[in-house]
Amino acid sequence: MTERVPDLDREFPLTIEFASGLYMHRESGGVLLGMADPKDRPGFDESVNWDFMPDVVERAMARLPLLEQATVRTAWGGLYENTPDKHPIVGRVEGLDGFLCAAGFSGHGLMHAPAIGELVAELVVDGRTSLDLAPLRAGRFAEGDIVPEHNVI
């Protein structure tokens, strides 16, 4: 996150560069920048990769030259909860009687929670859902029936 950027437009929206995964938005008078290092291996490392920070800043300045006036104030590392195809797992899990799963939403869980909660409640109460959850079944990975999502940041 940058220090305050004085000339930043108050209406500056969330901006995503899908080619690199860079995202940025207005935060506390500055700009919050984010981008995953493509060299990161799956795991649970939450440390800040300061060696990667120049790549993030360079991409951000290419999109928002005004950032040349800013300095990085703070940084933190986080985790993404992803499945191999970047789509969540929702529904019963074969071989685990009575187990319902709703996981793997990454940063979209809060947005999807109302709809997923309703679908899981339908499964519990009615034994079926008003929406076909088959594409989100856990078994799709073993079956090789995945459709990769390429625009996850």
pLDDT tens digits for range 66-112: 999 899 999 998 887 888 888 999 999 999 999 999 999 887 778 89
Can you tell me the distance from the alpha carbon of 22 to that of 35, in angstroms, rounded to the nearest whole number? 5
Q: 53 and 6 in one domain? A: yes
Q: 1 and 70 in one domain? A: yes
Integer CA distances (angstroms), 25 to 34, 41, 140, in order:
9, 26, 35
Q: 67 and 7 in one domain? A: yes
Residue-averaged pLDDT of the chain: 90
Looking up tokens 């790549």 gives: 55
Could you read off the pLDDT of 104-143 as tens digits, one per residue?
A: 988 777 889 999 999 999 999 999 999 999 999 999 999 9
Q: 103 and 69 in one domain? A: no
For the chain, percent helix, then strand, then coil, each to nearest 5?
A: 30, 15, 55
Q: 95 and 75 in one domain? A: no
Instruction: Dump the DSSP string for 31-50.
Output: EEEE---TTPPSS---S--T
Q: 100 and 75 in one domain? A: no
Can you tell me the distance from the alpha carbon of 130 to that of 125, in angstroms, rounded to the nearest whole number? 12
Do residues 3 and 70 touch, judged by C-beta distance below 8 A? yes
CATH number of the domain bearing residue 19: 3.30.9.10
Q: What is the pTM of this model?
A: 0.71
Give the structural domain span for 111.
Answer: 89-143
Does 151 map to a domain?
A: no
Q: 58 and 11 in one domain? A: yes
